[in-house]
Amino acid sequence: MDLDTLYREERPRALATLIRLLGDFDLAEDGLQEAFAAALEQWPAAGVPRNPRAWLVSTARHKAIDRVRRDKSLAAKQAEIAYLGEVAVPAPGLAEQPFTDDLMRLIFTCCHPALALEAQVALTLKTLCGLSVDEIARAFLVPPSTMAQRLVRAKAKIRGARIPYEVPGSDQLAERLDGVLRVVYLVFNEGYAATSGDALVRRELCNEAIRLGRLLRTLFPDASEVAGLLALTLLHDSRRAARLDERGDLVTLEEQDRSRWDRGQIAEGQALAEAALRRGGAGFYALQAAIAALHAQAVRAGETDWPQIAALYALLLRLHPSPVVALNHAAAVAMGERLDRGLRLIEQLEAGGELQSYHLLPAAKADILRRLGRRAEAAAAYERALELVTHEAERRYLERRLREVRSTP
């Protein structure tokens, strides 16, 4: 294993333990960076120590203490925290559990509900994933100074308001774990849903969300929603190569070249989705994963099990009622049962008025009308969707459909 990969693997647990030992995110991050720089110098000649993580933690801790001694303003800050030097460093060769406990503390602190959601996301990407401020800023299309400020503020709140570095008790755990999953889901969607901005950074976000999902799965092997979220991200991500054409335009699920889907990821995602459903208590993520698995299973679009998908959406709608889920349900009903029944459901949603500015409502309606051969009405609905759409690739897709329904006799 090369040193960068080794560092990447060891970093989250080493950092989590250091934050507990030092009581400060910045000191821990800077110390760990210095320790890794020292490792890059020493290890190639002297060899990798028997327990590289313990070596990194203890070296980083010494570097941090040196820094505090050199810097009086840091010392003042440290006096407030009064952690330094009181807690024992895990000994080399020590069991995995203390590090894992620290990692869980770090995850729950980064995703604490007293922090703004955007701050939770930024902090997770910075500390758990090790992304730089610039990378996170590029991914969220904000200036680096704004992102840096967001992180400074979040860390100041953790310190100032004393957000605990703890795994929540059993009465809080399920709810807090939901919060963690929401952050991972948001990271994935940010990387997956938008195609504007830096493509490499967006790809990185999807990879990080999957990596976080795998990590959570090792920490919470019995939680079906954890398995569900990992399955969902793997299954969506498996279509990455087929989602955009060579011009960067969005290719709909129906029109994607399914031979370009990542079969390995699909197999892993399907197994996880099935495990999540079998375990029971399938919620928001596990149900969506099951739907994604059904799509992934169809070799051709025409073979999609739409009735089953419609049934899963009905279940999802009952558990998590939302207009967007209702719209997906209506579209699945149109494909699986009858177009006119789906159309009626969409018209009911339209009348409800909750999705008036959501372009996918008229777009879905237009699609059904097009399949029904009602071209004039389809054209009007595509026009309405075009008034609302903001995403360029989606706009081009809708324009193409509009031309089709206008030109075909």
Partner 1 sequence: MKYLLLIYEKEADWAAIPEAEKGKIFQEYMDYSKRIRKSGNYIGGEALQPVSTATTVRVKNGKTLTTDGPFAETREQLGGFFLVDAKDLDEAIALAAGIPGSRTGSIEVRPIMPTPPVE
Binding site for partner 1 (CB under 8 A): 80, 112-116, 119, 153, 156-157, 160-164, 166, 168, 172
C-beta closer to partner 1: residue 115 or 129: 115
Among residues 42, 36, 41, the alpha carbon closest in space to that of 59 is found at 36
Give the tokens for residue 298. 């169809």
* Smallest distance from partner 1 to CB 163, Å: 5
Give the tokens for residue 47. 């060899």
108, 166 Cβ separation under 8 angstroms: yes
C-beta closer to partner 1: residue 157 or 258: 157
* Smallest distance from partner 1 to CB 154, Å: 9
Other beta carbons less than 10 A from residue 115's beta carbon: 24
* Smallest distance from partner 1 to CB 162, Å: 5
* Smallest distance from partner 1 to CB 180, Å: 15
* Smallest distance from partner 1 to CB 279, Å: 25
CA 15 → CA 19, 21, 59, 94, 118, distances in Å? Answer: 6, 10, 12, 16, 21
Q: What is d(CA 317, CA 148) in angstroms, rounded to the nearest whole number?
A: 39
Q: What is d(CA 235, CA 296) in angstroms, rounded to the nearest whole number?
A: 7
* Smallest distance from partner 1 to CB 77, Å: 12
Among residues 236, 290, 289, the alpha carbon closest in space to that of 261 is found at 236
C-beta closer to partner 1: residue 164 or 248: 164
Return the SS3 of 259: helix
Q: What is d(CA 114, CA 187) in angstroms, rounded to the nearest whole number?
A: 19
Q: What is d(CA 302, CA 255) in angstroms, rounded to the nearest whole number?
A: 10
C-beta closer to partner 1: residue 81 or 199: 81
C-beta closer to partner 1: residue 169 or 302: 169
Give the tokens for residue 281. 């208590």
Residue 244's DSSP bridge partners are 250
C-beta closer to partner 1: residue 145 or 348: 145
* Smallest distance from partner 1 to CB 264, Å: 40
C-beta closer to partner 1: residue 143 or 164: 164
